[in-house]
Amino acid sequence: MLDIDRIQAELNTSISAPAPLYERLRAAINAQITDGTLKTGEALPSEQDIEQRLGISHSTLLQAIRLLIEDGHLQSVPGAGTFVVRRDPKSISQPISHSRVIGVLAEASSFYLYYGQLASVFNHRLRQAGYHVDLALYNSNPDDFVRLIDSFLAADATAIAINPPSWFDITELIHQLQASDIKVVLIGRRMDFPDVDYVGTDNRLLGYQATRHLIDLGHAKIINISIPRYSSAQDRAEGYVLAMLEAGLSPHIYPHPMYSYMENLPTPVHLIQYVKESDPAQVWTDMVNQDITAAFCFNDETAIWVQKGLRHFNLEVPKDISLVGVDNLPFVFDVPLTTFALPGEAIGNKAAEILLKR
């Protein structure tokens, strides 16, 4: 039976996530199908009941249900209702072979345009090869992550593509999957597993190119506002440092104060010498005094945070401070942000190719 209260809690938890509401609703319903809360053949409550209890629009619910039908998780029967199925929508009458199931596990708060593109291409490529792809989104709770992995194993998944979490360790879990002969590919976020395939952006090159862009604009006082304990941020910071040193400039990495919960994770030794652990407010003072004239931001969310802070000091982008971000998110900036769009489609295609070979 659909647990409406659980869905409401998950929607409230992910309220700040940039993914559209219908995508988050789809993920929440799919999680209950995946973990068995909703059984095969069980009907969803009426659309009116779901809309009223969740306080959502009819169009939002219809979009979420449409995606679940396209994914093969639901089937709409006119005059009867919408039912849970475990079939490929292109072959409704044929049951899924469990040995043809591949799981995809991604972080809910990061599931925006980039991961949407990645998952879409990954899903299409593997379905064409005769596999059923089961996508699930996890939140900040490690137990939730393990529960979703267990649901894939219960479905006899032959492989799992994982977008690794940044705030808890899954090393032992991956070793267990390997011991069970489950093929694993890591997507989007690097981890140090020499015997596990990883497909993602060349973040080091990205950081280098972003910094070179600012240097070419004539800036010499460039900082990196980063999360130096975060693998993708580490790689981008390495590229930033390389570009600064090549130009004979001094690198300065400012930790983003909103990510203080990651303080238990170590900063790489080769970056520590460039990290400024002083009062976070110092960055604004340096910008006002023009000791900083440009910032390479870890991502677009960080750039938004910087822009809001600059407004408080009556500083303007790019008149007073130039910014470069990453992700190409549909955020509203005072002026169009210079940002890097990550290659979601290419990564999804490559990850699918690797699993097919495995």
Co-location of 107 and 15 in the same domain = no
In this structure, the answer to whether residues 232 and 168 fall within a common structural domain is no
Please tell me whether residues 285 and 318 are part of one structural domain: yes
**pLDDT in 10s for each residue of the chain, 358 residues:** 888 888 888 887 755 555 678 888 888 898 888 878 888 778 888 888 899 899 898 888 888 888 888 777 888 776 667 888 754 334 333 444 446 788 888 887 766 667 777 888 888 888 888 888 888 888 878 888 888 898 888 888 889 999 888 777 888 888 888 888 889 999 888 777 778 889 988 999 999 999 999 999 999 999 999 887 777 888 999 999 999 999 999 999 988 876 554 455 556 667 777 887 656 678 888 899 999 999 999 988 889 889 988 988 999 889 899 999 998 877 767 788 899 988 888 988 899 998 888 8
Domain with residue 40: its CATH number is 1.10.10.10
Residues 213, 314 share a domain? yes
* Same domain for 184 and 116: yes
Domain containing 179 equals: 96-200+343-358
Evaluate whether 188 touches 163 at the Cβ level (below 8 Å). yes
Give the residue from 31, 65, 92 where a domain finishes: 92
Question: How many structural domains does the chain have?
Answer: 3
Examine the domain organization and report whether 240 and 261 are in the same domain.
yes
Both 131 and 62 in one domain: the answer is no
Judge residue 192's burial from the number of C-beta atoms within 10 Å of its C-beta, 0-12 exposed, 13-18 middle, 19 or more buried. exposed
Q: How is the beta sheet containing 294-297 ordered, strand by strand?
A: 253-255, 222-226, 294-297, 322-326, 338-340
Give CA–CA dist 183/69, Å, rounded: 27
- Is there a single domain that holds both residue 132 and residue 175? yes
Residue 97: which residues within 8 A CB-CB, separation 6 or more? none
Start-to-end CA span in the chain (Å) = 37
Q: Which of 36, 63, 92 is the last residue of a domain?
A: 92
In terms of phi and psi (left: phi > 0; alpha: psi -120 to 50; beta: otherwise), the region of 203 is: alpha
CB atoms within 10 A of CB 313: 12
Q: Report the CATH number at residue 158.
A: 3.40.50.2300
Both 115 and 135 in a single domain? Answer: yes
State the pTM of this model: 0.66
Domain identity same for 181 and 246: no
Domain boundary among 43, 68, 92: 92
Same domain, residue pair 215 and 173: no
66 and 28 in a single domain? The answer is yes
